[in-house]
Amino acid sequence: MDAKQYEKYVKEKTPTHNLFLNMLGAFVSGGMICTLGQLILNICKNIGLDKEISGSWTSLILVLISVLLTGFNIYPKLAKWGGAGTLVPITGFANSVAAPAIEYQKEGQVFGIGCKIFTIAGPVILYGILTSSLLGLIYYFLHIWGIV
């Protein structure tokens, strides 16, 4: 049996999660996180903060909640159920930074937390910044040439 045949055969023998239930979990959990975000945003606006500052507070509070839930080992349980719904919003990003910080704390402040805090979030940060820079550059030239 060659590698391709074996892979195909294994795929037939391996059970998989129910796609519909996974999507439902993601829809509900992601929706709930976004609703919570909206709630915080509305409260901030209601107490008189301007739109941008309200947005920052919303992000900050969501991140804080996620970090606390990671510390109390609750976030992995939510993610197990919610999947992408809990991973895609900013809370998932916060979880991916907090989790290594907790795990590698034993290896010290520099080589533990310092070196390893971005082991999961690192690619998002690197390629996020790279993509934004490239897009910024394109926008800059389009602006100079009067296209936009």
The CB-of-44 to other proteins minimum distance in angstroms stands at: 26
Crossing angle for the helix pair 51-71 and 19-46, to the nearest 10 degrees: 130
Amino acid (one-letter) located at 27: F
C-alpha span between 69 and 38 (Å, rounded): 19
Amino acid (one-letter) located at 69: L
- Taking residue 41's Cβ as centre, other Cβ atoms within 10 Å add up to 18
Determine whether 16 is exposed, middle or buried from the number of CB atoms within 10 Å of its CB (0-12, 13-18, 19+): exposed
The CB-of-45 to other proteins minimum distance in angstroms stands at: 30
Residues 60-89 that bind other proteins (CB under 8 A): 70-71, 73, 75-76, 78-80, 83, 86-87
User: Residue 108: left if φ>0, alpha if ψ -120 to 50, beta else—which one?
Assistant: left
- Member of 15, 48, 136, 146 binding other proteins (CB under 8 A): 15
Size of the site for other proteins (CB under 8 A): 35
Site string for other proteins, 19-38 (x = CB under 8 A): ---x----------------
Residue 115 within binding range of other proteins, rule CB under 8 A:
no
Residue 132 within binding range of other proteins, rule CB under 8 A:
no
- Member of 65, 102, 115, 124 binding other proteins (CB under 8 A): 102
C-alpha span between 82 and 100 (Å, rounded): 21
Instruction: Note the residues at the interface with other proteins (CB under 8 A).
Output: 1-3, 6-7, 9-10, 13-17, 22, 70-71, 73, 75-76, 78-80, 83, 86-87, 92, 95-96, 98-100, 102-104, 106, 120
